[in-house]
Amino acid sequence: MKAEAQLAELPIVISFNQSYIVPAAVVISSTLDHLNSNAEVLFFCLLSEDLTALEKQYISELGNARTTFVFHVVSSSLLANVDVDLRYGLAAYYRIFLPEILNDYKKVIYLDCDIVVRNDLAKVYHTIKLDEHYLAAVFEAMLPFQVAHLEEIGCPTNKYFNSGFLIMNLEKMRQENVSRKLLGIIQSRKLEFPDQDALNIICSHKTIGLPPFFNSIRTFWLPQYKSAFLNLYKEEDWKAVQEHGTVHYTGSKPWNSFTIEFDVWWNYFDRLPKNVKQYFPFEQKWHLLSKIYRTHMGKLMIDGSRSVFRYFRKNGE
């Protein structure tokens, strides 16, 4: 794929389809909110099916004079021989083909679309030196029940990363045919988290660990999992996550359930233009709950109720 903005300072890849326009818009808006004002950004939007010209226009209008959007429909032939796990959809698999799709680029950032960015991605992109490494990513703080899965796929418990935020050394991955190796793993093994497990099997030994605030998954926010977090990270890392962690809504999503940092996502939703919001047929009850939760009294009541529930659940075990 020939990039239209080859010299972009910050190439960012997101994968989505028409039903995920609004979550993708939240990723785009939150990324731009936290960038140095001088950063030139190129968003590669990888699509499982083409969007209309109007939809592309609305997405592009989320940017500014220093933002470029490239929309690319990924050929279905790439996954012709893959038993796609419907829990994740086609778009989740595209990251494994990025070295081939973006064959003019040496390095990119990949972001899932269930994320709210709260850190300067240009800074980390230009600071990190991947050299001989394939990736930079955030390692998960594993819970006891997850250990058996890691043993099954042959990954050390302190070296399993979440693939929702990646800085990818596409040049090195092309040189060593990593896409072909990843595809071979997915085709030959039944994996619980197909693309993420495959990336860990092939790449974890060549992955640089990033501070956890760059990809703060669900368990990083919950006090009951703090002890597991501190087995891998430090107290100051926990504080950094709580203060400015990039929120990754692994598991429950804020548009269809009450979950961690619920108000953060809805704050960005409410700021989106009406012409973008129209593409999101969410249940109104979640938007209403977000409005209640974003009041001082509503937050106190809901958080208080959750604390009481957790207390009795813990002490009732």
Domain assignment of residue 16, yes or no: yes
Domain assignment of residue 146, yes or no: yes
Q: How many domains does the chain have?
A: 1
Q: Which residues 6+ apart lie within 8 Å of 305 measured at CB? A: none
Alpha-carbon distance of 254 to 259, in angstroms, equals 6
Domain assignment of residue 25, yes or no: yes
Q: What residue numbers bound the domain in which 288 lies?
A: 10-316
Domain assignment of residue 4, yes or no: no
Domain assignment of residue 21, yes or no: yes
Q: What is the pLDDT along the chain (317 residues), one digit of tens a residue?
A: 554 444 458 999 999 999 999 999 999 999 999 998 788 999 999 998 999 999 999 999 999 999 999 999 998 766 666 666 656 566 778 899 999 999 999 999 999 999 999 999 999 999 999 999 999 999 999 999 999 999 999 999 999 999 999 999 999 999 999 999 998 998 888 888 889 999 999 999 999 999 999 999 999 999 999 999 999 999 999 999 999 999 999 999 999 999 999 999 999 999 999 999 999 877 889 999 999 999 999 989 888 877 766 656 666 55
| DSSP H/E element including 162 | strand 161-169
Domain assignment of residue 1, yes or no: no
Give the domain CATH number at 254. 3.90.550.10
